[in-house]
Amino acid sequence: MKLSLVFPAAAFCIAAAPAAAFDLETVTTLLEQAEHDEMSPLGMFMAADWVVKGVMLSLLFASALVWVIFVARVMILRWERGVLRRRYRDLDKRVRVSPNAKASWGRWCAQPSVSAQPRARVPG
């Protein structure tokens, strides 16, 4: 058996086998069984041509990379959302409106002005 076939096969066996059965004999037995059973995913991989194996491994790598990027982006977005919430809280604590200012706002808002009129929507 070539060494290039052992690494993907071993990775598949580690992912598929229970945690208690990680010894060299079990891995070797699973590899030998996969060579004879061509309908299992590992057997199909072992029976494939080197070009197909290369494509499968590159797709596996690309899939893992996409998931890593996705999880990283989600973590970054959650972090930024938390930062934004903290900044809004800090801004709210710093800017407090006095009751006199609130009363004067009522006078200003009581008379509609040109800027208070709703704007027409632009179709887009």
Contact 45, 8 (CB under 8 A): yes
> Do the domain assignments include residue 123?
no
User: How far apart (Å, rounded) are the C-alpha atoms in residues 88 and 82?
Assistant: 10
Same domain, 43 and 3: yes
> Do the domain assignments include residue 118?
no
User: How far apart (Å, rounded) are the C-alpha atoms in residues 90 and 84?
Assistant: 10
Same domain, 8 and 42: yes
Same domain, 61 and 36: no
**124 sits in which H/E element:** none
Give me the pLDDT at residue 3, please. Answer: 44
Same domain, 58 and 29: no
The model carries a pTM of: 0.47
Same domain, 42 and 54: no
Residue bearing tokens 């609130």? 102
> Do the domain assignments include residue 116?
no
Give me the pLDDT at residue 71, please. Answer: 98
Tens of pLDDT, residues 94-112: 876 666 665 566 555 555 5
| Domain span at 76 | 50-94
Which band of pLDDT confidence, cut at 50, 70 and 90, is reported for residue 39? confident
Give me the pLDDT at residue 1, please. Answer: 43
Same domain, 38 and 79: no
Provide the number of structural domains found in the chain.
Answer: 2
